[in-house]
Amino acid sequence: MKSRFLLVFAIAVAAGAQSANDPLPSWNNAGPKQSLMRFVSDVTTQGGAHFVPVPERIAVFDNDGTLWTEQPMYNQLAFVLARVEQMAPQHPEWKTTQPFKGVLEHDAKAAAASGEAGMVRLLAATHSGMTTDEFRKTVSDWIATARHPRFHRPYTECVYQPMLEVLTYLRANGFKTFIVSGGGVEFMRPWTEKTYGIPPEQVVGSSGKTQFKLLPSGPVLVKLPQVEFVDDGAGKPSGINRFIGRHPIAAFGNSDGDLQMLEWTAANPKAEFVALVHHTDATREYAYDRQSSFGKLDKALDEARAKRWTVIDMKSDWKTIFPNSR
Amino acid sequence: MKSRFLLVFAIAVAAGAQSANDPLPSWNNAGPKQSLMRFVSDVTTQGGAHFVPVPERIAVFDNDGTLWTEQPMYNQLAFVLARVEQMAPQHPEWKTTQPFKGVLEHDAKAAAASGEAGMVRLLAATHSGMTTDEFRKTVSDWIATARHPRFHRPYTECVYQPMLEVLTYLRANGFKTFIVSGGGVEFMRPWTEKTYGIPPEQVVGSSGKTQFKLLPSGPVLVKLPQVEFVDDGAGKPSGINRFIGRHPIAAFGNSDGDLQMLEWTAANPKAEFVALVHHTDATREYAYDRQSSFGKLDKALDEARAKRWTVIDMKSDWKTIFPNSR
């Protein structure tokens, strides 16, 4: 009995040790995991042909659909809709004005009929006319209390556990990790440090203009209803150039909005690892690509396959999707 | 004799040890040095009333006139003039067109007569129409060979030794140091890491738009003749908000173009150190404030005095101005 117990114990310890040594325990031991670990080994091997000095180890990550779920709608859009409901008492005119009326009556079709102009008005109403400090508090309050409609957990727990492991793994190997997202930079910064370990100064995103005002109570930055920069599609390499000023050696995306960022990274002559998250798991998350207006993959998936970039198949490559509830 | 030698030797060793322990050896032991060291001690003393956690220790530095000399003209303007001369053979029309004609004939008055529109044309001609990689190489080549007209040394050696010590001192105390300059971000990044220890991703500056193009040879970013962002004056707090996303606790400037950045930093409720470099040393560098179009101090100097910000008097506070030739 005793020796049998010891044997079981020894096996359990060995399994534990193996998992302790595995930087990517939520990944099945298939192609993407192996490619990533080979890449990291290559660029960190001093004297090797592909060695990259620490300061140049820049890795960029799309956010929506790459680090956290983007279905059934962009989480920032859920924030917009919640804000319209919260702010409605101060805006009686919204009861009769689209797209606000549609939002308040949960009539998505009516709201959507306002098209892009309507979306711009929703964004302006919820993302401008306040100070940057006020906006930060609004986002922090929402992210602390809102729940994902299907998974019934905070949005910051609808992040992908395997990708959290990639972030930690790369940083442990001297990489600086950046978000490069089409989402609003001020919508992301209040929670990225705690959620991803990515500090505000390493978040690149879309932004509106701000205006400095010196009030009697002190200076403030007021958010204006004017778009400053759209960090999406062909804007992503420009955003990388402008905010980071270095050519990344690793990039992770999931949609056509990431295509140019992936192309730009793939062209780094020093070294490159380029990966596309393919949403294939309707049971544990969502399965979508060409059919969806979110995370469209009309071109990116074909190009990834043609150029032999790493395509991550959520269903088969990831043992778990979300982290344990915190 | 022997004992006297030993005494002198002991004193020399003691002096050496003292200087080895002094993080700011090029600073005279006056108010600004003492204030800065008290501030650093305050924000790094765990459990103290003014303790600031490492991630929030953000320090911002203007560049022209704060980290390196800005006289007799902005160094970036010297680059513009040199580039016009270099590019002239490919632009025969410049021989008869202002402001290019004036630049080529060293007729500053004629060139200046074109006013702001002329300056925009000079900037467009020298800062756009090439890829970001090409521009980086142009800047690197110029900075490696150009010499300051008065000091006859590379511009990267016309940096202030006392400020290099401040950068190193703050970083040794857990600060992240950022440049926040009205100068072009792509003009600064090729040399700030080597010169200041400030990596490209911690340089905030003015920028032009860039366009992603997928050529048969691979993707490039082309610099367009359109201003994207002017990081000066009231633009500096906006630039800080957009690129850094945190409220600095320390700021160094030297002109009215830095005023709002200093006001913004001074308003940080956590802690703040705000300093203005006052150019008072005509012998070793330059003496100027209200008379000059560069580094105007019409308001900033008065406000610094009224609000008891730290005013650094170059002549009396700095033992040396420039580093030893490297």
Confidence band, pLDDT 50/70/90 cuts, at residue B56: very high
Mind telling me how many Å the CA of A228 is from chain B's nearest CA? 9
| Residues of B whose CB is below 8 A from A237 | 210, 212, 219, 221
| Residues of A whose CB is below 8 A from B139 | none
Quote the pLDDT of residue A108: 86
Cβ A99 vs Cβ A122: under 8 Å: yes
Q: How much is the average pLDDT of A147-167?
A: 98
Quote the pLDDT of residue A160: 98
Instruction: Please give the model's pTM, rounded to 2 decimal places.
Output: 0.92
Quote the pLDDT of residue A1: 45
In terms of CA atoms, which chain B residue is nearest residue A206?
B242
d(CA B142, CA A206): 34
Please report how the helices A115-127 and A75-87 are oriented relative to each other, as an axis angle in degrees rounded to 10.
70
Residue A88 has pLDDT above 60, yes or no: yes
Q: How much is the average pLDDT of B310-323?
A: 97
Inter-chain CB pairs, A–B, below 8 Å = 96
Q: Do B267 and A238 touch (CB under 8 A)?
A: no
Q: Which residues pair with A178 in a beta bridge?
A: A60
| CA distances to A73, A286, A298, A318, B194 from A289, in Å | 14, 10, 8, 18, 45
Please report how the helices A75-87 and A132-145 are oriented relative to each other, as an axis angle in degrees rounded to 10.
110
In terms of CA atoms, which chain A residue is nearest residue B260?
A212
> pLDDT per residue over B108-151, tens digit each?
899 889 998 999 999 999 999 999 999 999 999 999 999 999 99
Q: Which residues contact A140 (CB under 8 A, 6 or more apart)?
A: A190, A191
Q: Rg of the Cα trace of chain B?
A: 22
d(CA B101, CA B105): 6
Cβ A139 vs Cβ A191: under 8 Å: yes
Mind telling me how many Å the CA of A11 is from chain B's nearest CA? 42
* Mean pLDDT, chain B, integer: 92
Mind telling me how many Å the CA of A201 is from chain B's nearest CA? 4
Tokens for A75, please give them.
């989480």
Name the burial class of residue A3, with classes exposed (0-12), middle (13-18) and buried (19+) by CB atoms within 10 angstroms of its CB.
exposed
Residue from A201, A220, A223, A256 to probe the interface with B (highest B Cβ count within 10 Å): A201
d(CA A225, CA A121): 9
Q: Rg of the Cα trace of chain A?
A: 22
Q: Where are the beta strands (DSSP E) in B105-243?
A: 176-184, 203-215, 218-229
Confidence band, pLDDT 50/70/90 cuts, at residue A152: very high
In terms of CA atoms, which chain B residue is nearest residue A224?
B238
Q: Do B185 and A245 touch (CB under 8 A)?
A: yes
d(CA A157, CA A324): 8
Cβ B261 vs Cβ B60: under 8 Å: yes
In terms of CA atoms, which chain B residue is nearest residue A237?
B212
Q: Do B200 and A241 touch (CB under 8 A)?
A: no
Is residue A105 helix, strand or coil? coil
| Residues of B whose CB is below 8 A from A228 | 229, 242
Q: Do A212 and B237 touch (CB under 8 A)?
A: yes
Is residue B138 helix, strand or coil? helix
Residue A190 has pLDDT above 80, yes or no: yes
Residue B305 has pLDDT above 80, yes or no: yes
* Residue A118: other Cβ atoms inside 10 A: 19
Residue A15 has pLDDT above 90, yes or no: no
d(CA B178, CA B185): 12
Is residue A217 helix, strand or coil? coil
